[in-house]
């Protein structure tokens, strides 16, 4: 049987081999892993803070559980960064082949935007917004969700750092309220950010099939 050497056949082959769908699933799944680990860490941290507030010692199990959830969440960040950068590259190339339209960011920007200090507080948002708005028709775009996703992600990062600082500064007999409140805020924001990210990845990827 002769191989299809037509431009259309080659384009379909490239689309099937660029791994966009698999990268989208992996990016969303790793976001869920980080979110679940964050949610599981909340009760352990809250119980530890309450034990400090009561003047007691933190149970070794709670300390171990908090450490495990922190390792899982931190360990998922590197593969999430790599997979998401690859997904951005695959989606950008799919758009450029489909629409003959040059997207305003390259592969390097898709990776560096997440890790360059200070600018990573804003840079990922315009990159993801341009990709999403170029790929998705107007009626299906996640409009409010893009800003909400990034605001919740940054808010969760800040609230998590405050929670850690408050917990470290808490002495025996000190109230645990601040630690618990900041932990709940960070967890809630992480959940919302995760849900919105999955929506963005899903709608963008489906529009490029």
The mean pLDDT of the chain is 84
pLDDT score recorded for residue 170: 74
- Yes or no: say if 142 and 202 are a contact pair by the CB < 8 Å rule: no
- Which of the residue ranges 51-60, 115-124, 181-190 would you say has the lowest mean pLDDT? 51-60
Over 80: is that where the pLDDT of 9 sits?
no
SS3 string of 148-180? Answer: HHHHHHHHHHHHHHHHHHHHHHCCCCCCCHHHH
Return all residues near 125 (Cβ < 8 A) that are at least 6 apart.
Answer: 146, 147, 150
| Contact predicate 207/86, CB 8 Å | no
Centroid of chain to Cα 56: 36
193 pLDDT higher than 50: yes
- Residue 93 token pair: 């190339």
pLDDT given at position 27: 97
- The encoded tokens of residue 156 equal 């969760």
Residue 122 is given by DSSP the state: T
The answer to whether the pTM exceeds 0.75 is yes
What share of the chain in percent tops pLDDT 90?
51
By CB atoms closer than 10 A (0-12, 13-18, 19+), residue 154 is middle
The mean-pLDDT minimum among 55-59, 74-78, 93-97, 166-170 falls in 55-59
Work out the pLDDT band at 14, boundaries 50, 70, 90: very low
Distances (CA, A) of 134 to 126, 130, 131, 203: 12, 6, 5, 12
């Amino acid at each position: 049987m002769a191989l299809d050497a037509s431009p259309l056949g080659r384009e379909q082959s490239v689309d099937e081999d660029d791994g966009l769908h698999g990268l989208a699933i992996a990016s969303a799944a790793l976001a869920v892993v980080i979110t679940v680990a964050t949610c599981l860490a909340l009760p352990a941290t809250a119980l530890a803070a309450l034990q400090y507030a009561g003047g007691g010692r933190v149970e070794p199990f709670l300390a171990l559980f908090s450490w495990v959830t922190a390792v899982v969440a931190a360990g998922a960040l590197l593969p999430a960064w790599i997979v998401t950068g690859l997904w951005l590259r695959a989606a950008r190339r799919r758009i450029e082949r489909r629409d003959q339209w040059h997207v305003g960011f390259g592969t390097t920007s898709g990776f560096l935007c997440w890790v360059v200090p200070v600018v990573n507080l804003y840079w990922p948002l315009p990159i993801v917004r341009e990709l999403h708005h170029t790929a998705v028709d107007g009626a299906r775009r996640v409009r409010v969700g893009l800003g909400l996703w990034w605001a919740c992600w940054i808010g969760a990062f800040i609230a998590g750092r405050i929670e850690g600082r408050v917990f470290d500064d808490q002495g025996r007999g000190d109230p645990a309220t601040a630690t618990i409140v900041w932990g709940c805020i960070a967890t809630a924001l992480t959940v919302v950010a995760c849900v919105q990210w999955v929506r963005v990845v899903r709608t963008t990827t489906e529009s490029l099939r």
